[in-house]
Structure 1
Amino acid sequence: MARFGNANEHADWEAAYHVFTYANAVHQLLNRIETASANGGTTAVRAILHGAMALYLTRYLNVPPARIPGDDDQHLDDLPTEAETIRATLLDAFNRQQQVDEAARLVARHLTFGHSSQALIATLAGAVLREDAGFHAYQMLEAEIRQFTVWGDTDAGRNILVAVAQYLAAHSPTQRAALQTADIARRLMRGGELHQETGTP
């Protein structure tokens, strides 16, 4: 996911998404089944093989592989250094189309300075909630959180956070009509009025 090339068609994001979320689902299942039994072991091997083949078949999406911003990346020097500013800039990037590379750079910048990964994940979750997100976006976010919990602050863990930011940036912004509906519902629950009548002169 982190090496998904921007030259691909937009719909190809879903192919990469399916492989990532499938691999996460298999990982979660392997933590739950009894692999001691012959049947459980066979099922696990079959699931892993399917995931490996799906990854093999979609490798064309990473030819050539996109560059992942790194710790010693001078291309990040133009970005802010304060954690809150980086996260605010990331949310601003989600307000504009075609900010996949910018989102990746901002996440890398945040992690390079050792800022809180949990605060970054919360920002990404907030970005999903304000969009008219569908099942895929929520599933991608859930898989990212679970996998980052496993990998932590490693190269693989950082790549996971870069990947989900890229995916969300590729699908943002939406019309955010659901957010408007939720805001109206919140105001009504607090006793506010939906419409205020203007007084007549």
Structure 2
Amino acid sequence: MNSLAAAPRHEGPYRHWILSDVLPADLAAEMDALPFDAPALNGVSGSREIHNNTRTYIDAEAIARHPACAAMAQAFQHPETVAAVEEMTGARLGGCCLRIEYAQDTEGFWLQPHTDLGVKKFTLLYYLGPDGQPDLGTDVYADADTWSHRAPFTPGGAMAFVPSNNTWHGFEPRPIPVVRKSLIVNYVTEEWRAREQLAFPDTPVTGRHGG
């Protein structure tokens, strides 16, 4: 909540926030050290959906096995956190469910520009690390074909936005010398079909505004 409140808001090419120190340092370190294997790309990339069968989530099993995952999920599930996100960004999260992906990207990974528009009502791209790789941040686009700028890849930092028809973002092909770890935090509507990916599939968040 403090991180979001202090985050500068950028209006171009669409409204987004650049956060710092999103998680307490000890929790961030524990999340970075989780024993999850980086999935093999097998020479194919461009969208995360291509590798659905090897993606990792902070799901019910991860929450039960790893205290750090439980703390992370409970923090983003908490009504005060949800209310703060709504208040600062205008997102309408009531009735949504929390989805957190633990992403580990390796050499050959790239993402075509996309908007997240649809069942995702809020997106936060949190950078776990490693440090010293500022060029590994999210690419921001003015439209599907026009690159604008790159968010700084700073461990503990994040980029946040409310998905709309112009929130184009992706990851341009470039060298990834080390595993690029990040957390992709979304609040998704009840229409999300892959319920097993959700942190609390039977417990929607409580927001100040309707779903």
TM-score by length of 2: 0.31
Say which structure is richer in strand. Answer: 2
- Larger relative CO (CA 8 A, sep 6+): 1 or 2? 2
- Greater Cα radius of gyration, structure 1 or 2: 1
TM-score by length of 1: 0.32
